[in-house]
Amino acid sequence: MSNGPLHGVRIVEFAGLGPTPFAAMTLADMGAEVIRIQRPGLKHLMGLHYDILDRGRGFVELDLKNDDDIQTVKALLSEADALIEGMRPGVMERLGLGPDEVAAINPRLVYGRMTGWGQSGPLAHAAGHDINYIALSGALHAIGPDDTPVIPLNLIGDFGGGGMYMAYGIVCALLETTRSGLGQVVDTAITDGTAHLMSMIYAMHAWTDRRESNILDGAAPFYGVYKCACGGHAAIGAIEPKFYAELLQRIGADAELAKTQMDRSTWPAVRETFAAIFATKTRDEWSELLLGTDCCYAPVLSIAEAYNAPHNTERGHFDAKNGIAEPAPTPKLSRTPGSVQDCSQTEALDVKDVVAKWQETRKN
C-alpha cells in the first residue's frame, strides 16, 4: 500500500479504455485505493497480459445488468470518496447509478465523468475517438507539415486533454469536499481539455493558422528536427537569442545568422543550411558535442532507447517493479511521493471483503 499524498482516498473505477484507466492509474500512483469494477470474463481489447494503465489496483467482477450486483455496487459507492466512469451520457443513469442516485446514498462522493464530447452539446451522444476530439478542438489542424496534419499518437486528447484533466478535476473536487462536505460532478470532456491545453497557442496573436508557418510547428529553423548522418534525428529548440547564438557557434554556422533569427523570409534558406550541417555527423556525435549545453539540443530517442538514457535513469523515469520498464509516478513529491504498486494490486478481489473493510475503517 502506498503512502503517497492520496493515501486513504477511496475510488471506484468503472472499467473503460484509454483516458479513464489512465486517470485511475495516476490517482493510484499517488496513493489512492482504487477498485475497478469490470464485467465477468472481461478480456483486454489489445490482448495485453499486463496493462500498465491497470497497475496499482485490484478489480471486482460484477454484472451491471444484474440487480443484485447493482446493489453491491451501491454498497461500495456508499463508502467511496470518488467514482470514475467513461460511459456515453445517460448510460449510468439507465443503470440506476447516475449522479443523483449516487448522491442520495453518498452525498460526499465526487462523481468523475469522462467523455469525448462532454455531457451536453449537440455531439454529446455521438461516437468518437481521440483523433476526432483533437480535430474539433483545433489541435490536429496545427500539427504537422504544410500539406497534411499529423496524428500525435493519442497523447494530446485521450491522456492529456482527458485522463490528466479528470485526475486533476477529481483532486480539486475532493479538496473542496473537505470544506463543504458535499461531492459534485466532474464533467471531463476531451474536447474541453484539449482546447485548454492549446491556451498559449490560441493566445498567440501572431500565430498563422497554417501548419509549418510558425515558431513552434516546424517552420523556424531553430526549432525543429534534423536528420543526421546515421539516419537518426536531432531536436533543436534554440528560441532565445543567446541560445541561438550558442547553437550557431557550436555547429559551425555563420554567426551573422543571429541578426535575422526572427526574419521569417530567411527561415527556408537557414533550414536548408542547418539540414546540410546536421547531415555531416551521426546523432551520437552531435550528442557528444551539444547535449548538456545551452543550445537546447536533445537526441530523438526511440522508446527502447529512452529506457536507458542516463538522464532518465538518474531521474528514475522508469520502474521495473512489475517485470517491465514502465513510467514511474510523476510529479515527484519530496515528502509523500507516489510509487508503482506490486502486480498483486491488479488481482481479482472479493467485493464483500472490500465493502466490509471500507465500512470498518470508515467507522474508525
Q: Write out 103-118 in H/E/C secondary structure.
A: HHHCCCCEEEEEECCC
Quick one: how many helices (H) and strands (E) in the chain? 14, 11
Residue 287: which residues within 8 A CB-CB, separation 6 or more? 297, 299
Known catalytic membership, residue 44: no
Instruction: Spot the catalytic one: 69, 130, 158, 192.
Output: 158
The closest of 37, 38, 33 to 10, measured between CA atoms, is 33
Mean pLDDT along residues 54-62: 90
What is the CATH architecture of 10-199+329-363? 3-Layer(aba) Sandwich (3.40)
Mean pLDDT along residues 316-336: 86
Contact (Cβ atoms closer than 8 angstroms) between residue 174 and residue 110: yes
For CATH 3.40.50.10540, the residue range(s) in the chain are 10-199+329-363
Mean pLDDT along residues 144-161: 94
For CATH 3.30.1540.10, the residue range(s) in the chain are 228-315
Q: pLDDT-based confidence at 1, cuts 50/70/90? A: low
Distance of CA 265 to the CA centre of its chain: 37
pLDDT given for residue 346 in this prediction:
63
pLDDT given for residue 46 in this prediction:
54
Distance of CA 129 to the CA centre of its chain: 15
Mean pLDDT along residues 177-203: 96
pLDDT in tens, 108-125: 999 999 999 999 999 999
pLDDT given for residue 127 in this prediction:
94
> In the predicted model, is pLDDT for residue 297 greater than 60?
yes
Q: pLDDT-based confidence at 361, cuts 50/70/90? A: confident
Q: pLDDT-based confidence at 345, cuts 50/70/90? A: low
Q: pLDDT-based confidence at 290, cuts 50/70/90? A: very high
Q: Say how far apart CA 307 and CA 312 lie, in whole Å.
A: 7
The per-residue pLDDT of the chain, averaged, comes to 92
Instruction: Spot the catalytic one: 7, 51, 129, 319.
Output: 129
Known catalytic membership, residue 63: no
What is the CATH architecture of 228-315? 2-Layer Sandwich (3.30)
Range picked from 76-85, 138-147, 204-213 for highest mean pLDDT: 76-85
More confident call, 206 vs 147: 147
The closest of 56, 37, 30 to 171, measured between CA atoms, is 30
pLDDT given for residue 3 in this prediction:
82
pLDDT given for residue 47 in this prediction:
56
Q: What is the phi-psi region of residue 138: left when phi exceeds 0, alpha when psi lies from -120 to 50, beta otherwise?
A: left
> In the predicted model, is pLDDT for residue 213 greater than 80?
yes
